[in-house]
Copies of this chain bind each other. A is one copy, B any other.
Amino acid sequence: MTVQIGIIGCGVMGADHCRLLHGEIFGAKLVAVQDSDRPRAALVAASAGDVRIHDFAHDLIADRDIDAVVIASPDHTHAALATACVEAGKPVLCEKPLAATIEECQAVMTMEMTGGRRLVQVGYMRRFDPGYRAMKRSLDDQQFGRPLFLHCVHRNAVAPHYITSDLVIANSSVHEIDIARFLLDEEFAAVTVISARSSRHAAMRQPQFIVLESASGVIVTVEAFLDAQYGYDVQAELVCEDGTVSLAPNPPVSRRHAHREGFEIDGDWRARFADAYRDQLKEWVASIEDGRPVGSSAWDGYAASATAAAALEALAAGGKTATNLGERPAFYAG
B residues within 8 A CB of A264?
A: 259-261
Interface size of A by CB at 8 A reads 79
Q: Are B254 and A223 within 8 A (Cβ)?
A: no
- A266's nearest neighbour on chain B, judged by CB, is B259
Please, how many angstroms separate the alpha-carbon atoms of A126 and B253 in the complex? 14
Q: Are A196 and B223 within 8 A (Cβ)?
A: no
> 1/0 contact trace for A205-246 toward B, CB 8 Å?
001010101001111010101011111010000010111111
A115 is an interface residue with CB less than 8 A from chain B: no
A148 is an interface residue with CB less than 8 A from chain B: yes
Please, how many angstroms separate the alpha-carbon atoms of A195 and B266 in the complex? 35
B residues within 8 A CB of A329?
A: none
Q: Are A219 and B230 within 8 A (Cβ)?
A: no
Q: Are B248 and A256 within 8 A (Cβ)?
A: no
Contact among B27, B149, B221, B247 for A252, CB-based, below 8 A: B247
Chain A residues within 8 Å of B, Cβ to Cβ: 22-28, 129-131, 133-135, 138, 143-146, 148-149, 151, 157, 192, 194-201, 207, 209, 211, 213, 216-219, 221, 223, 225, 227-231, 233, 239, 241-267, 282, 319-320
